[in-house]
A and B are shown apart, each in its own frame.
Chain A
Amino acid sequence: MSNAPHILVIDDEPQIQRAIRTILTEKGFKVTTASRGEEGLTLAAVNEPDLVILDLGLPDMDGVEVCTRLREWTQCPIIILSVRDSEHDKVAALDKGADDYLTKPFGIEELLARVRVALRHSMNAQGTQSKVVKAGLLTIDLAWHIVKRGDEEIKLTGTEYKLLSYIASNHRRVLTHQSILIHVWGPADADHTEYLRVYMRQLRKKLEADPERPQIILTEPGIGYRFIADE
């Protein structure tokens, strides 16, 4: 198993380290742990892991800072761990380049799912970027600007398409309100969450089987949105 994916876990709580290491090792990953930010950064530089799991509450430095420093030289996926009610920190870390987050306490199923999505992306990124995103019956051709459900083409307005193409092409990441607003409407409208709410509702009505129970575009309360693509 020399080419098993390498995961670096940066968390200062030994119990969490132990639980994550046990489960991930069991699942065939190679796991390295660090309990401090500086140690984590050094290990990341030495080992070049395929994925970093990073706790935001570290004793020596802010997790957001670790995130920023990792992004200076590596694009490896970062999943952040954080307690409830720290939406502000999560948003900051996501805006600084983290890909996904998990709120403590979390289920292992959830962790494994996030790890799989993130790793698949990093493997893909080494090859060619897929120009077609599929989610259930939905097919989004990012090159030809065509959105289909089954064989039926779905008409979208200009803004709707811009929005959909941005979240679909970043489907393995959680996108914050701000980052979507800046990419779709521009920096001047970065605070107009209401645009996002209204357009997301329109999109869901056109794309989701049941707009009240969305399966493709999920709301991350207080954070942003997540596009669930087929694996």
Chain B
Amino acid sequence: MNRIAMQSPSFIYHIRQYLFAFAVIAAITAIFFALREVLDITLVALLYLIPLGVITAFWGLGLGITSALLSFLLLNYFFIKPYYTLAVHRPTDIVILAVFFIVAVVISQLVGRMQAGLAAATAREREATQLYQLSTVLVGLHDDRSIAQILAVQVQAVSQGECVELSIKGTHPFTFRLPEMDAPARAAELIVPIQAARGVLGEIKLWKTESAISLAEKRLFQTFASQGALALERGWLVEAESRAKVLEESDHLKSILLSSVSHELRTPLSTIKAAASSLRGHEVSWDSPARSELIAAIDEEADHLNMLVGNLLDMSRIESGALKPKREWNILSEIVGSVLVRMRHLVEAHQLEVDVPDSLPLVPVDYVQMEQVFTNLVSNSVKYAPEKTVVRVRAFVEGESIHVLVGNQGPQVPQEHLDRIFDKFYRVTAADRVTGTGLGLSICKGIIEAHGGRIWAENVHDGLVFNFIVPLMWEGMPPQQLPIDTEIE
């Protein structure tokens, strides 16, 4: 039997209960009436107790008592002489009636109490179930918003109230309301604070008109609130812990950066210092070939230093989110061309194969940053691939993106390192074998991602290929049509 449905108060439902109970009593009375001459009065009185018990068991104490009273009157009216009056002449009949009335009321009481106890037990079980459900749902949640949402949904489901509002304090205070409308103008009927060890974290407000909020409900919502407080606190702890981890990690990265950078900076500085001091000290004669060699070394190493510092700046800009591409419609072949012209000395030991047709559509990219991506990918390729091998640069349209490949015939990278080569300071090879800050590829990644694209590396049969895609649409739009131009006659 569904107790929850029975508890929902409804006038018509009550009327129907009463009518049904009276019908049962009427039917029983009719049967007894037919057998009035055969049955003894005491037996009739006894038999009346059966429907009374049943009615009380099904519909509660109130109806039981009413039915008992009705049966008492009917017994008196139809079965105790003189018939069809409520007068009683025989003393035994008075005793029978009195006993019947007492027994009927006692039975109703007992059965009714049992029922009430059962109802309370069921309600408690329901509370326990709801609490259990709430706590299981809350266990997996760490952010304030979803915790507040679950809490509000549960309170609303249990209370069936008009409106539930949850406000959470803290660094980012917010309010969550169910249903999502303006709160009623009047003050909330129930306000439960969400109290934790650190203080009040927020409160639950409930507007509920239909009936007053029962004590049991109040108790339940208080338990909900303390469950919510626990979940919120847990969320805060998890967040604090992850923040601590991030800090620790960035601290670790900084120390790697410092050691890597000081090593990288010192190498060209040593060269420059050695070359400049030997030139200054007149140890090298003015016309010796060593002199121009030393000067070239100073020049090259100064460029190298400049590049290192540039990389560091780029990286810190990417980290702080300050790297915002200044997008313009550009011709990819022009960017690739200018990079390769500038890098011609670096790539002359390798064979370059470039397939970036200038018939490709315009790409919405930051010219300078894209140059940087190509510079880093090509210089990475020539750094690791043996001399005289082929370095390929290829670009083509793929759906609504442009796909660029920069491939080399250098050593493959183990599968498990493929993703990580774009991490800062990550090197597959030992750091002292190849120069560089270990930032080039992660700068590429930062730039490509700032353009809304994706970059990855893959092994191919004869080497390694860097891939990246960037969208051809800019704010969902292709480039504007060019104005019509006319030929000079």
Residue ranges of A at the interface with B (Cβ–Cβ < 8 Å): 84-85, 87, 105, 107, 155-161, 177, 185, 189, 192-195, 197-198, 201, 212-213, 219, 221-222
Contacts of A213 in B (CB 8 A): 337, 341
Docked Cα-Cα span, A192 to B364, in Å, equals: 12
Chain B, 298-351, CB within 8 A of any chain A CB: 299, 302, 306, 310, 313, 326, 328-331, 333-334, 337-338, 341
Query: Which residue from A87, A189, A193, A201 sits with its C-beta under 8 Å from B368?
Result: A87
Knowing A219-B338, A221-B368, say if A197 contacts B331 (CB, 8 Å). yes
Is B485 on the interface with A (CB-CB < 8 A)?
A: yes
**Residues of chain B with a CB closer than 8 A to A195's CB:** 482-483
A157 touches B488 (CB 8 A): yes
Q: What residues of chain A lie closer than 8 Å to B487, measured between beta carbons?
A: 155, 157-158
Chain A positions within 8 Å of B362 at CB level: 194, 197-198
Q: Is the CB of A201 within 8 A of B331?
A: yes
Report if B416 contacts A (CB, 8 A): no
List of A residues within 8 angstroms of B333 by Cβ: 212
| Given A87-B326, A197-B334, 11 extra CB contacts under 8 A | A84-B310, A156-B488, A161-B488, A193-B329, A193-B330, A194-B362, A195-B483, A198-B482, A201-B331, A213-B341, A221-B367
In the complex formed, the residue of B with least CB distance to A189 is B483
B residues in contact with A193, CB < 8 Å: 328-330
User: Which residues of A sit under 8 angstroms from B331, Cβ to Cβ?
Assistant: 197-198, 201
Known contacts A157-B488, A201-B331, A221-B371, A105 near B480 by CB under 8 Å: no
Q: Could you tell me how many residues of chain B have their Cβ less than 8 Å away from some Cβ of chain A?
A: 29
Residues of B contacting A159 in the complex (Cβ-Cβ under 8 angstroms): 483, 485
Q: Report A79 CB to chain B, min CB distance, Å.
A: 20
Cβ of B358 within 8 Å of any chain A Cβ, yes or no, is: yes
CA distance in complex: A212, B358 (Å) = 10
B337 A194 Cβ-Cβ under 8 A? no
Within 8 Å CB of B310, what residues of A? 84-85
Q: Are B313 and A85 in contact (CB under 8 A)?
A: yes
Count A/B pairs, Cβ under 8 Å.
66
Residue contacts A-B, CB under 8 angstroms, 23 given: A84-B313, A155-B487, A155-B488, A157-B488, A158-B486, A158-B488, A159-B485, A160-B485, A185-B483, A193-B328, A194-B328, A194-B479, A194-B480, A194-B482, A197-B329, A197-B330, A197-B334, A198-B331, A201-B358, A212-B333, A221-B368, A221-B371, A222-B326
Whether B334 contacts A219 by the Cβ 8 Å rule is yes
Asked whether, in the complex, the Cβ of A105 is within 8 Å of the Cβ of B488, the reply is no
CB distance from A93 to the nearest CB of B (A): 17
- In whole angstroms, what is the CA distance A87 to B325 when docked? 12
A158 touches B485 (CB 8 A): yes
Per-residue A-contact encoding for B471-484, CB less than 8 Å = 1, 0 else: 00000000110110
CA of A87 to CA of B369 in the docked complex: distance in angstroms?
12
Are A105 and B482 in touch, CB under 8 angstroms? no
Q: Which residues of A contact B371 (CB under 8 A)?
A: 221
Q: Give 1 or 0 for each of B226-270: 1 = CB within 8 Å of chain A CB.
A: 000000000000000000000000000000000000000000000
**What 3 A-B pairs come out closest when comparing CB atoms?**
A194-B329, A193-B328, A222-B368
Q: Which residue of A lies closest to B313 (CB)?
A: A85
Complex CA gap A154/B299 in Å reads 42
**Which of B302, B326, B334, B485 interacts with A105 by CB under 8 Å?**
B302
Contact A221 B326 (CB under 8 A): no
Contact of A105 with B306 in the complex, beta carbons under 8 Å: yes
Min Cβ gap A86→B in Å is: 11
B60 to chain A, nearest CB (A): 80
Give CA–CA (A198, B420) in the complex, Å.
38
